[in-house]
Structure 1
Amino acid sequence: MDSHDLGAVGRRPLPAKPDLSDAAADRRDPADAVEARWRQLALVWQWRRERQEVLRPGAAFPGIVRLIEVAGAERTLRQLYPYNSHFALHLSSCTQYPYALRVPSVLPRHDGRFQVFVPRVGTLLGETDTAEAAVALVVAHLPAGLGPAVAGTADDLCR
């Protein structure tokens, strides 16, 4: 064990970084890329939460892990490509950047609540107490005819 494995003297070791070796998924069909990305996001955010618990015990950590679990269990959202920025969960109908922003995004707050925003505009659509309620609000505001994510970028889809 080297010094990078220890959070600090007297603390338990930091968790090992997750294995994200499914890099070839984006070269297969879009459904594989979407599924691999859901798994990767869940692993990375679980690792980050566990790491913070070692480095800053008791510090609030936004509910991004729970949000990813709940959103990933929702059939209509599971077919979309998930990504995040600054703890917010975004869902795209294409698998590559620049992403297609047609679905509300969710920002988990440090106080345990969740804010749901209108896509692109950033206007607050609503605030909820649980990840389940936030996901329900997203589902209620999905655009008509939204199907599974497709390969490519938003630019490719707009041609």
Structure 2
Amino acid sequence: MDSPDLGAVGRRPLPAKPVLPDADVAAAHRRGPADAVEARWRQPALVWQWRRERQEVLRPGVGYPGIVHLVEVARAERALRQLYPYNSHCAVRLSSRTRYPYALRAPSVLPRHDGRFRVFVARGGTLRGETGTAEAAVALVVAHLPAGLRPAVAGTP
């Protein structure tokens, strides 16, 4: 855990790490993929909010623009809410499996430092488009979902 006192004159203390419902996610995995997906959707916004607040203390103005809002907008979209969310290299990714190896059938979204969002196919990097808002990025992801995409299934433990 980070010390709240960094010893730097005039620097605000670092925010406390969020308490993540890891035990809840582990228990949810045991109950089945639908519960695992639901439990997992609760974590990304907490983690990225904390990272953004921490970054603002350490390097003001060089944060994670848009990612917290992006996660919230994606979570509100019914078609995406059935997929298992995770982050990799600051991109929001959605899997059709609840454990690694993930099955990426939906495009991923990378928030850019200029406030825009890049929507791309994770494997191969094919760009689907770039948008100015999280809402437009999520709409673009939904527009590029494969036909017949079903809710996430249990991955290999």
Common fold: TM-score over 0.5: yes
State how far apart, in whole Å, the 1-side matches of 2:146 and 2:52 are. 32
C-alpha root-mean-square deviation of aligned residues, in Å? 1.9
1:75 aligned residue: 78
1:36 Cα deviation from its structure 2 partner: 1.6
Paired residues in the alignment total 153
State how far apart, in whole Å, the 1-side matches of 2:132 and 2:39 are. 29
2:110 aligned residue: 107
The 5 A counterparts of 1:1-159 are: 4-7=3-6, 8-23=8-23, 24=26, 25-153=28-156
- How does the TM-score come out when normalised to structure 2? 0.90
State how far apart, in whole Å, the 2-side matches of 1:119 and 1:85 are. 10
1:58 Cα deviation from its structure 2 partner: 2.1
Deviation by residue 1:96-143 (Cα, 9 ceiling, x = unmatched): 000011111111100000001124221111000011000000000101
**Which stretch of structure 1 is more off in the superposition, 40-49 or 20-29?**
20-29
Deviation by residue 1:32-88 (Cα, 9 ceiling, x = unmatched): 211121111111101000111111122242321111011011011011000111111
The answer (yes or no) to whether the contact 1:60–1:111 under 8 Å persists in 2 is no
- How does the TM-score come out when normalised to structure 1? 0.89
The answer (yes or no) to whether the contact 1:62–1:87 under 8 Å persists in 2 is no
C-alpha spacing 1:151/1:5, structure 2 compared with 1 (3 Å): same
1:71 counterpart letter in structure 2: A
SS at match of 2:87: strand
1:147 Cα deviation from its structure 2 partner: 1.4
Work out the percentage of aligned pairs sharing the same amino acid. Answer: 80
Question: 5+ unaligned residues in a row in structure 1: which ranges?
Answer: none
The answer (yes or no) to whether the contact 1:113–1:128 under 8 Å persists in 2 is yes
